[in-house]
Chain A
């Protein structure tokens, strides 16, 4: 009897697995909020933003029933691998290190990294001599973190933060001389405050942002790529982009 139950449940699990893997009528997509203007909650508590609307358009195009999952950034890739969700559309930049763990779609946008500091900050951020001894804030594990670590590792003191909020607090508290963050985030959090400005040229980093999926789900990646291409060409993408950005992020 016991063996029968085990065999039956195994068969059931396999059947369920194959059904799930083939048709992709239900897709769970993960976002890390708030990350304005890409994904955040509006006054009514509804999830919205550039990537959320793009995901909605994508799901409508694919005729799939999408569930949106909120997941903190540090647990993104582990959560994907652990099958808590099927795709990440949370401004994940494509890097070789990440590509070893996940399968990326074609990039769907790219934003530069921006330098922001107080109004009295007049140092040229590309001049390594002048930057010596300055304290730079970055978000841990971002492409901005990698850039500063590799290019300025021995020159400046790097402080790594888990959230942008903590970093901006320390910039206001004068613990940091300058922060290097994703441009739209800096625009939202730093430039909106009195007494801060952009202090250097934005730096184009990395290969853009892609939808991250599990390595084995090649069929899903194929669908996503085809759908993104269609949205980029038929004007849906541009309409959503113009709603959120004054500049071009299309890729």
Chain B
């Protein structure tokens, strides 16, 4: 941060250069946590959604159980179980796993990724099963194999139907990440809580952080609108 801005900020009571930096570090943590968990969640969700549509119950059953468990319990409970539960396993501190789970970041990332993956799996599954029969029959008539058909017809067509619902999931994930602060991660909300308890100024601390979330959400909404108009460009009326 340039010195003249820091000096100017230090005239404030609450929003000094130090608190602004605390919010900034929180913002970086929130973005990292949400972005990484969304990537991991999406990458795992596509194959899981395909497995979920398989007729054989021994294949689709376990995926159903997974999505049921993670959609059926609050994220806060999942985070508590993963963060505090893992530390209680006897002997875990001596294994290499402890290097990963000692810090709160990875348990939170794991909980968030598993949670968003369950929701995304169901979103994509819904889009896959609603593929028009005609598209699949046409692909079969061309002699496409299952894999080719899935790759060229089913998944691209499902992606178009899933994108609106998925944009909602992304925004929900951003807001759910606020609970990371209960396991000592200083994300945006964690920074706000620290500043709130230091100055006893709930309005200043929380309205500022609410504005940060609004800006992040605006960026997401904008990006998804671009993506939607790209994926659904065939539905646009012909321009004269």
Residues of A near any B CB (own CB < 8 A): 74, 77-78, 97-98, 100-101, 140-141, 145-146, 159-162, 166, 169-170, 172-175
Contacts and interface: CB of A to CB of B under 8 A. Distances in A.
Q: Which of A98, A140, A173 has the most CB of B within 10 A?
A: A173
Contacts of B98: 174
B202 A140 contact: no
Nearest to A173: B87
Contact of A160 (B84, B87, B194): B194
B84 A161 contact: no
Contacts of A170: 84, 87, 184
A140 B196 CA distance: 10
Contacts of A146: 198
Given A160-B194, A170-B87, 5 more contacts: A74-B193, A74-B196, A97-B200, A145-B197, A172-B87
Interface string B79-101: 00000100110000100001000
A240 B98 CA distance: 46
Given A140-B193, A169-B87, A173-B87, A160 B184 contact: yes
Contacts of B102: 174-175
Nearest to A95: B200
Contacts of A159: 184
Given A140-B197, A159-B184, A78 B202 contact: yes
Main secondary structure of the interface of B (DSSP, over half): helix
A97 B199 contact: yes
A74 to B, nearest CB: 7
Interface residues of B, number: 17
Nearest to B102: A175
A141 B102 CA distance: 24
Contacts of A74: 193, 196-197
B198 A97 contact: yes
A30 to B, nearest CB: 15
B212 to A, nearest CB: 20
A162 B182 contact: yes
A190 to B, nearest CB: 16
A101 B202 CA distance: 12
B147 to A, nearest CB: 46
Nearest to A145: B197
Q: Which of B104, B184, B194, B202 has the most CB of A within 10 A?
A: B184
Contact of B200 (A77, A161, A166, A173): A77
Nearest to A167: B184
Interface in B153-203: 182, 184, 193-194, 196-200, 202
Contacts of A169: 84, 87
A108 B87 CA distance: 39
A31 B75 CA distance: 30
Contacts of B87: 169-170, 172-175
Given A159-B184, A160-B184, A169-B87, A101 B93 contact: no
Interface string B93-121: 10000100010100000000000000000
B88 A173 contact: yes
B129 to A, nearest CB: 43
28 contacts: A74-B193, A74-B196, A78-B200, A78-B202, A97-B199, A97-B200, A98-B200, A100-B200, A101-B200, A140-B193, A140-B194, A141-B198, A146-B198, A160-B184, A161-B184, A162-B182, A169-B84, A170-B87, A170-B184, A172-B87, A173-B84, A173-B87, A173-B88, A174-B87, A174-B93, A175-B87, A175-B102, A175-B104
A91 to B, nearest CB: 15
B123 to A, nearest CB: 33
